Amino acid sequence: MQKKILVTGGCGFVGTNLVPKLIEQGADVKVLDNFTKGSPSNLKNIDAEIIEGDIRDINTVQRALNGVDTVIHLAAYGSVIESIKDPFENFDINVRGTLVVLQACINSNVQKIVFSSTGGALIGNAIPPVNENSIPKPISPYGASKLCCEAYCNAFANSYELHTVMLRFANVYGPYSADKLGASTAFIKNIMSDTPIKIYGDGTATRDYLYVQDLCKGIHMLVEQDLPPATTLHIASGIETSVIDLANLIIETSGKKEHEIQHLPLRRGEVTRNFASYDLAKEVLGFSPSVSLREGITKTWDWFSRNFPKI
């Protein structure tokens, strides 16, 4: 049977890459987005129904869920630093918004919901590589909100028999990430605008960088397979990369080898080291990333160069 999927936040970075892939694989796709971090123009010429609305409005969500059997819940307030500035808005969008989506799924007899979580911010400063058995100790409101959402997903799976699955994303990068608040986007924009790259700390902080099409592959695998309700999986590269190495790779890719790097004081709420094991995702889904960081950064730089020749 053709899957009927609602993607919340589907006009944002990940959704813009994911929706065409789902349609290509035969799904009937709707998108619910309030357009604060994405534009419907990102999905122009794509055969998906786009609905403008906020995930915190249960009536809007339930209308969007009409005829839907699967939800991919991407909509979120996705910044560690912004969550520290305004933890209440972060909670309202991430936690209350997710609770509304979960309740609407129950009301609408949705079969499965895939929740987009996070690895590093949720688990905090644990010794990497982290995995599904790592003890969560978030150090930012953003990480705390995602942990709370995971708890609600687990509760709804057990209390209401809603088939929830939590995917903990690595640091995702790639095309259509112009509005994403992340290091790769910031560094590319710095180079294109001829402004210094700003690194908070000495650059030895590490992250797990995953190309967006590898993430989309993992999400699609999950949609297609029946895993036990309340399953949690890390979708990651499994490779630890320092921020300074990422900056230098982007500088090398740009061809502007003398581009300035500035070091600023560390920011609160950001973990010092993080990368994740995707062993469980490989075991139960057959997931393995296929795009190297160098190849992915080249593809991302090329996309920015075509779409933003002048910033």
Q: pLDDT by residue (tens digit) across 89-119? A: 999 999 999 999 999 999 999 999 999 999 9
Residue with token string 């609602």:
6
- Contact between 156 and 172 under an 8 Å Cβ cutoff? The reply is no
Top CATH class, 4-172+210-235: alpha beta
pLDDT at 1 over 80: no
Per-residue pLDDT, 78: 85
Residue 265's SS3 state is coil
Q: Is 173 a catalytic site residue?
A: no
Q: What is the DSSP letter of 69?
A: S
pTM value is: 0.96
Distance between CA atoms of residues 166 and 35, nearest Å: 24
Q: Break the chain into its structural domains and give their ranges.
A: 4-172+210-235, 173-207+239-276+291-303
Distance between CA atoms of residues 145 and 138, nearest Å: 9
User: 227 — phi, psi (to 5°)?
Assistant: -100, 160
Please, which residues have CB within 8 angstroms of residue 89's CB and are 6 or more apart in sequence? 77
Structure tokens of 136? 């969560």
* Residue 43 exposed, middle or buried by CB count within 10 Å (0-12, 13-18, 19+): buried
- Contact between 168 and 233 under an 8 Å Cβ cutoff? The reply is yes
pLDDT at 132 over 90: yes
Percent of the chain with pLDDT over 70: 99
Nearest Cα to Cα of residue 3 among 86, 68, 77, 48: 68
Distance between CA atoms of residues 263 and 243, nearest Å: 11
User: 136 — phi, psi (to 5°)?
Assistant: -70, 130
Per-residue pLDDT, 310: 62
Helices assigned H by DSSP within 160-211? 183-192
Length of the chain: 311
- Contact between 67 and 109 under an 8 Å Cβ cutoff? The reply is no
Please, which residues have CB within 8 angstroms of residue 161's CB and are 6 or more apart in sequence? 229
pLDDT at 311 over 80: no
Task: For the beta carbon of residue 163, count every other beta carbon within 10 angstroms.
Answer: 19
Distance between CA atoms of residues 123 and 158, nearest Å: 23
Mean pLDDT taken over the chain:
96
Residue 257's SS3 state is coil
Structure tokens of 209? 């960088």
Per residue in 216-244, pLDDT (tens digit) is: 999 999 999 999 999 999 999 999 999 99
The CATH code belonging to domain 173-207+239-276+291-303 is: 3.90.25.10
pLDDT at 285 over 80: yes
Per-residue pLDDT, 26: 94
What is the chain's alpha carbon radius of gyration, rounded to the nearest angstrom? 19
Average pLDDT over residues 6-33: 97
Helix (H), strand (E) at residue 261? strand 261-264
Distance between CA atoms of residues 14 and 180, nearest Å: 10
Average pLDDT over residues 286-300: 98
**Sign of the dihedral defined by the CA atoms of residues 172, 173, 176, 179, in that order:** positive
Catalytic residue among 142, 152, 173, 211: 142
Nearest Cα to Cα of residue 93 among 56, 147, 122: 56
What band does 41 get if pLDDT is binned at 50, 70 and 90?
very high
Per residue in 161-191, pLDDT (tens digit) is: 999 999 999 999 999 999 998 999 999 999 9
pLDDT at 309 over 80: no
